[in-house]
């Protein structure tokens, strides 16, 4: 009755996953999405989202990034700064006239770290 080729969609019927496992993964995905979205909203309320992502242009009617995206990338931004902190410090020292901007960015980083 079923053919071997894909007809589109996710084709969940052929995975043969049992219902409790399926519901558990859906619940896990829902929790992760909700937490990342709330975190993104919190970053926007703290006004540190411009350090995480590019701000929306004035002519643009729709936001560039969702709260979910900002919540996820806030975490990745902190992690990357921990990995590349030595290189980032060296680059900051090359531009002494931008020192105040770097200080603002580092304050934003510490705010985000305090949340995570």
DSSP for 44-70?
HHHT-HHHHSPPPPTT-SS-SS-HHHH
For 80-101, what is the mean pLDDT? 85
What band does 106 get if pLDDT is binned at 50, 70 and 90? Answer: confident
Q: What predicted TM-score, i.e. pTM, was given to this entire model? A: 0.62
For 79-104, what is the mean pLDDT? 85
User: What is the pLDDT at residue 87?
Assistant: 87
Question: What is the overall mean pLDDT for the chain?
Answer: 81
Could you state, in order of their start, the residue ranges of all structural domains in the chain? 12-115
Res. 6: pLDDT tops 90: no
For 9-19, what is the mean pLDDT? 74
**Cα–Cα distance, 72 to 75 (Å, whole number):** 6
């Amino acid at each position: 009755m079923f053919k071997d080729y894909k007809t589109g969609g996710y084709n969940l019927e052929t995975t043969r996953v049992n219902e409790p496992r399926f519901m558990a993964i859906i619940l896990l995905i829902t929790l992760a999405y909700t937490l990342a979205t709330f975190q993104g909203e919190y970053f926007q309320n703290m006004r540190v989202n411009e350090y995480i992502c590019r701000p929306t242009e004035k002519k643009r009617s729709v936001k560039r990034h969702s709260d979910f995206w900002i919540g996820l990338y806030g975490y990745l931004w902190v992690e990357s700064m921990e990995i590349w902190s030595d290189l980032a410090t060296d680059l900051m020292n090359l531009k002494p006239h931008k020192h105040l901007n770097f200080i603002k960015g580092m304050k934003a980083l510490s705010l985000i770290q305090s949340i995570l």
